[in-house]
Amino acid sequence: MKDNNNRIIKHIRFSITSHCNSNCIYCDKEGFTPKMSELTVEEITKLCKILAKVLNVSKIKLTGGEPLCRKEIISIVKNISNLGFYKDISMTTNGLLLGKKAKELFDAGLNRINVSLATLNPQRYKRICNNDSLETVLKALEISKDIGFNPIKINYVILKNINDDEFWSMSDFCNKKGYILQLIELHQVAKSVGGGNNLFYQNYHYNTIPLIKQLEKKSNKTIIRSNMQNRKKFILSNGAIIETIVPSHEFCMGCTKLRIGCDGNLFGCLFRSDLGKNLKESLKAHYSLEKYDQIIRQIVDSREPYY
């Protein structure tokens, strides 16, 4: 299904819980705070099936909150995998519970993981994430690699005067370990989360353009991921692979995602969860596929480039 700007929906980003065992200072809460109770495992599975049938999507990312805080996480992954529609099932996680669950997740059908890691320095980790778990996360990454997750991506949100001096050491660390580094520029938090108070953004936003220029000079090859928000992927001469996620109009124009909040709110943009529609009641009502098609079409039509 295409939106009014000719963008075909290809990805689903599904927040399966708002609960989190970390408290990162930059967190965008995936664009909204839930108004209703969490979808059940059955409702999540049913919605994934409807979305796959209506949109013909085969890629899904599970997020949160922290997806591993959801106690039924293994059943959720298994059910989505068993639907047979999704060829790429991935998850973004803070890694705190990953070491314990990685094998079961892999066996259940999870293909890929992104792990949030804003620093390699324990004191800074504590300042950014409000917990002491850096070692736990590093160990979880090793375990996940040994189990066979590939690729493993590291989500590094760069923050002015907090961790902006760590970019090259993060790049070396990821290269040595065989992980892909995702350099993420801080974006503002949606009004539906922070009430429009973007003081944190004003204080800590780091402009990545000069860094990206350096990457352009140093890289042997640059790929533009046109199916994925026009993200740039740099392959450096030392073998390091770095992807950049920078909010911009170009980025927005390459966005092919639909989002679902943990309470069933289906929406088209991180910054406009208010334009979404909550599907929890519809899921109980056993609508026809044609009816779901109409509802989803309305949400897809509400998508605009917001940058």
Interface with ligand SAM by CB under 6 A: which residues? 20, 26-28, 30, 63-64, 66, 92-94, 116, 155, 157, 184, 186-187, 189
Contacts of 183 (CB under 8 A, 6+ apart): 156, 158, 167, 208, 211, 212, 242, 243, 244, 245
3 state SS for 118-129: CCCCHHHHHHHH
CA gap 68, 252 in Å, rounded: 28
- Residue whose tokens read 């079961």: 104
| Residue closer to ligand SAM (CB basis): 45 or 155 | 155
| Residue closer to ligand SAM (CB basis): 32 or 86 | 32
| Residue closer to ligand SAM (CB basis): 54 or 170 | 170
CB of 268 to ligand SAM, least distance (A): 17
Residue 169: which of 273, 247, 99, 240 has the closest Cα?
Answer: 240
- B/e letters for 254-292, b = 16+ CB within 10 Å, e = fewer, are bbbbbbbbbbbbbbbbbbbbebbebbbebbeeeeeeeeb
| Residue closer to ligand SAM (CB basis): 79 or 116 | 116
| Residue closer to ligand SAM (CB basis): 194 or 305 | 194
CB of 234 to ligand SAM, least distance (A): 18
CB of 161 to ligand SAM, least distance (A): 16
CB of 230 to ligand SAM, least distance (A): 17
Tell me how long the chain is.
307
CB of 95 to ligand SAM, least distance (A): 8
